[in-house]
Amino acid sequence: MGRLTGRTAIITGAGSGIGRASSILFAQEGANLVIADKAETVHETAQLVKDAGGKVVSLTGDAGEEAFVESLVATAVKEFGALDVAWANAGISGGWTAFEEQDAAFWAEVLRVNLIGAFLLVKHASKVMIPAGKGSIICTASVAGIRSGAGGSPYSASKAGVISLAQTSSNEFYGTGVRVNAIAPGLIETGMTKPIFDGARARGNEDKIGQLNPMARYGVPSEIAHAALFLASDDASYVNGQVIAVDGGLSSSHPVVRRKR
């Protein structure tokens, strides 16, 4: 039996990248899925899940809108009778707009999707999980939320907020059996980071992508998916209120010029 056999999971941002890889992995581990994305490609992910033998419902919508998030939770309960895992994975980068060109509306949109969207899933998933006395909620943060240098200011601030959300909400749910944790990916090749990879490849510098971390390489979506599987499963039954960096060791150090041994 898989580690998620008989359990139901919601995954947002499932149209590509980390969300897609995780949807397939969770299905292979036995989970029933409700997956969501703003992009229609979420339905392609659903087909891949079905091809892997999984049960899935796919919905398109905005993970930063409360009514849509409520509908995800309601769908999980209606279709599968329970909600055991909720992963607030949807997010936007906001790009690298110069600081002096940023305005309040730009910040508000990044925070709405990345931080308020995560809060909404924590809020509504917990309403189902608390009466059941158990549940795992996962939020996608970023190494950009740990310290400067990995993203623009609004993105980094939103992800720092996600880390705090995991810590504070886990304590809000004291004694309920509901766990809340965050994953902080490093440089992962996804649709969000495509411009970075495309630019490096165009310059012939692909071998330098990820060179700042001790693994000296970039990551792939499946590596984040496996970290999420751990947090979703009983293997992490005593892990709560934590942020787990999956970044090749990038966040373990301040930037330095590396010398090959």
Q: Is position 174 annotated as part of the catalytic site?
A: no
Calpha distance 222→218 (Å, rounded): 12
Pair 56, 34: CB distance under 8 Å: yes
pLDDT at residue 150, as a whole number: 79
136 beta partners: 85, 179
pLDDT at residue 52, as a whole number: 86
Calpha distance 43→245 (Å, rounded): 29
The stretch 150-168 carries a mean pLDDT of 95
The helix/strand/coil state of 195 is helix
The stretch 194-207 carries a mean pLDDT of 67
H-helix or E-strand containing 136?
Answer: strand 135-140
Least confident range from 4-18, 88-102, 154-168: namely 88-102
The mean of the pLDDT values for the chain is 92
Confidence of residue 214 (pLDDT cuts 50, 70, 90): confident
The helix/strand/coil state of 225 is helix
- Write out pLDDT tens, residues 22-40: 999 999 999 999 999 999 9
**What is the residue whose two structure tokens read 């809340």?**
180
- Write out pLDDT tens, residues 223-243: 999 999 999 999 999 999 999
Considering the entire predicted model, what is its pTM?
Answer: 0.93
pLDDT at residue 191, as a whole number: 65
Ranges 91-105, 155-169, 188-202, most confident: 155-169
- Write out pLDDT tens, residues 53-62: 999 999 999 9
Please count the other Cβ atoms lying within 10 Å of the Cβ belonging to residue 79: 14
Q: Regarding beta strands 135-140 and 85-88, do their DSSP bridges make them parallel or antiparallel, or are they unpaired?
A: parallel
pLDDT at residue 198, as a whole number: 62
Q: Taking the domain 8-248, which CATH number applies?
A: 3.40.50.720
Calpha distance 5→149 (Å, rounded): 40
The residues spanned by each domain of the chain are: 8-248
